[in-house]
Amino acid sequence: MTFTDQNNFGLQCKDVSHWFGETKVLFNLNLDVHAGQFVALVGPSGCGKSTLLRAILGTHPPHRGKILTMQNGRLANADRPGRDRGIVYQKYSLYPFLTALDNVALGLKLDQTTTSFRWFNWSGWSKKRSDFRDQAAAFLKKVGLGQAMNLYPSQMSGGMQQRVAIAQALIMEPEIILLDEPFGALDEATREELQEMLLRLYEENAEIKAAGEKPPYTLIIVTHELNEAIRVGDRLVGLSQYWDWKSEGHECSPGATVVYDKSAPVFRSDERPEYELFDDMRKEIRKYVYNPEVLQHCHEHVIVNPTH
Amino acid sequence: MLGVLSVLILLAGYTFVSHRQHQINPEDTTIPNWSQLSEGVKKFTQINRKGERWIVEDSIATGRRFFYGIGLGLVCGFLTGVLMGCFSPVEAFLQPPIALLAKVPQTAALAVYFVAFGTGMSMYVAMISLGIIPALAVTVYLAIKDLPSEMIDKAYTLGASHFEVVLEVILKQVLPKFIDAVRLAIGPAIVFLIAAEMVVGDVGFGYRIRLQFKLTNMNVVYPYLVMLASFGFALDYGLRFLQARFCPWYQRDLK
């Protein structure tokens, strides 16, 4: 099947609403993500970015609306975590009892073998295990960690841990990878290195897409750093509770929704970011997404499915 | 080096105190000197009228009671903790009795065990295992509750089944903490066992120590205490070795 934007959804959120008791969090949120897109999700703190991410992950399904992800070649309800979605957390991203290599190989092991196979078919399992480890080693080399394969997470720096965590998610070849403030705890230089790593994945996507195939990497990255969002994402989605809900007939704020959705400039991984050039975009996002004084109509800055 | 020195000082101090005591009373047996001690050792290693050596029959009796009791306690404590940690109904059901049981002093409850289980092996096993189950179960249960939910959610995104999440993610992280808890449980277990043997035993370390103490044969009592201490120390060392062998990451974590 040839790849087209239209038939390759990584994710569909349809009229998603969520609330915690009296506190309304998400309201009628619609978001379609196509295979190959790098979506940067931004928004003021408390706007429900994490709630949305957990809803997509399936640990906390939304109270109303539907979240569909590509599962076994068709869109299906994402009401529990599954191997079609990868996750990279800011903390607790790795298993402390496994080395970098085994952390990455863990997914292959859990996904492709069963406990009874591992217990009762020793020769088969040892063969598979070395096979999995080879694959994991190749992935670690790809993210620049060929030297650190046998280190435990406690022996690694924060940046190394996040690289391993990304490799751990990538090796499963999920339809979509969710990154929840993945570089929030890292210093500026390490952040930029890791952003470059993501941009290299985007370049790989572009090559494969150019060949008419389905691009392998689809990302949603939640970040509070606008520069990071603009640099890594090819699409910026702003989630905000500050929109003109009064004109829609609500008496109190019904929750956050997508108020901003535009394509972002694409950068090469070897390109030094010139953050001054991001100024206009940052200002626009600050105004429409972050500023509680500016209440625009909720569809005013949403260009659904922006073309690249 | 300093450790060896401290042991040497201890031995020298004992020799001095014993020597002074024997100057006052040459027949003293409360602080036996070295020749009296070697007599004592001879006493419990020689073959007696029944054709047995005390040390052998005591070791076998006490050892069997200890390992049966602690073995059952380990298995039950671990399983209880895992069930409490993984299933909230079990947690709600078992938390009050476990908390209550943990507060009952086992040595004070000896009478209850004698009444319920007699004075045979089953009494020792029940007493030791019930004595250590609460502490072990609570340790395992809290260790599971301490695991961040992110780690469990992530395992599902890596294709794990429920069973695999328990086995590959939860239990592997609980194991080193469980070994720590077992190390701590060995002390109380020996206390319970010796106390019970002192009261109703007809063979075993507790029985022998009580009997020889009544005869003021401290030259037997002291070597027995040293053997008990060495036993506890060896077990502790073995468990630490197992922990380092099977959970190398945990040791690194502590550094």
Query: Does residue A307 lie in a domain region?
Result: yes
Per-residue pLDDT of chain A (308 residues; tens, 9 = 90+): 445 555 678 888 988 999 888 888 888 888 889 888 999 999 888 888 888 999 999 998 999 999 988 888 788 888 889 889 999 998 888 999 999 999 999 999 999 988 889 999 989 999 999 999 999 999 898 888 888 899 999 999 999 999 999 999 999 989 899 999 999 888 888 899 899 999 999 998 889 988 888 888 999 999 988 989 999 999 999 888 888 887 777 888 888 888 888 888 888 888 887 888 888 888 888 888 888 877 777 777 777 554 43
Nearest-CA neighbor of A174 among A7, A59, A55, A10? Answer: A10
Query: Does residue A156 lie in a domain region?
Result: no
Query: Does residue A114 lie in a domain region?
Result: no
Q: Which residue range forms the structural domain that includes residue A288?
A: 1-84+177-189+220-308
Other C-beta atoms lying within 10 Å of the C-beta of residue A264:
21
**Nearest Cβ partner of A154 from B155, B158, B252?**
B252
**Nearest-angstrom CA–CA distance, A131 and A142:** 17
For the entire predicted model, the pTM comes to 0.86
Query: Does residue A210 lie in a domain region?
Result: no
Type of residue found at B226: V
B150 touches chain A (CB under 8 A): yes
Q: Which residues of B touch A154 (CB under 8 A)?
A: 249, 252-253
Angle, CA A108 vertex, CA B254 and CA A2 arms, to 5°:
135
Residues with Cβ < 8 Å from B129, sequence gap 6 or more?
B69, B70, B72, B73, B76, B77
Q: What ipTM goes with this model?
A: 0.88
Per-residue pLDDT of chain B (255 residues; tens, 9 = 90+): 888 999 999 999 999 999 998 899 888 888 888 889 898 888 888 887 888 888 899 999 999 999 999 999 999 999 999 999 999 899 999 999 998 888 888 888 888 999 999 888 999 999 999 999 999 999 999 999 999 999 999 999 999 999 999 999 999 999 999 999 999 999 999 999 999 999 988 899 999 999 999 988 888 999 999 999 999 999 999 999 999 999 988 875 444
Helix (H, G, I), strand (E, B) or coil at B234: helix
| A202, A95 contact by CB (below 8 A) | no
B155 touches chain A (CB under 8 A): yes
Query: Does residue A16 lie in a domain region?
Result: yes
Q: How many domains does chain A have?
A: 1
Query: Does residue A209 lie in a domain region?
Result: no
B254 touches chain A (CB under 8 A): no
Q: Which chain B residue has the Cα nearest residue A83?
A: B157
- Is B249 in Cβ contact with A83 (below 8 Å)? no
- Is A89 in Cβ contact with B159 (below 8 Å)? no
State both tokens at A36. 């190959």
- In chain A, the largest separation of any two C-alpha atoms, in whole Å, equals 68
Nearest-CA neighbor of A137 among A155, A149, A152? Answer: A149
Residues in A 40-99 with any Cβ partner in B closer than 8 A: 57, 59, 80-83, 85-87, 89, 91-93, 95-98
Residue indicated by tokens 């009592």: B221
Nearest-CA neighbor of B21 among B12, B32, B11, B13? Answer: B32
A146 touches chain B (CB under 8 A): no
Distance between B156 CA and the closest CA of chain A, angstroms: 6
Domain residue limits, chain B: 47-254
- CATH code of the domain covering residue A299: 3.40.50.300
Query: What superfamily does domain B47-254 belong to in CATH?
Result: MetI-like (1.10.3720.10)
Distance between B233 CA and the closest CA of chain A, angstroms: 27
Q: Which chain A residue has the Cα nearest residue B158?
A: A107
A161 touches chain B (CB under 8 A): no
Distance between A131 CA and the closest CA of chain B, angstroms: 17
Q: Within 13 Å, how many C-alpha atoms sit on residue A89's CB side?
A: 16
A179 touches chain B (CB under 8 A): no
**Nearest Cβ partner of B157 from A85, A98, A155?**
A85
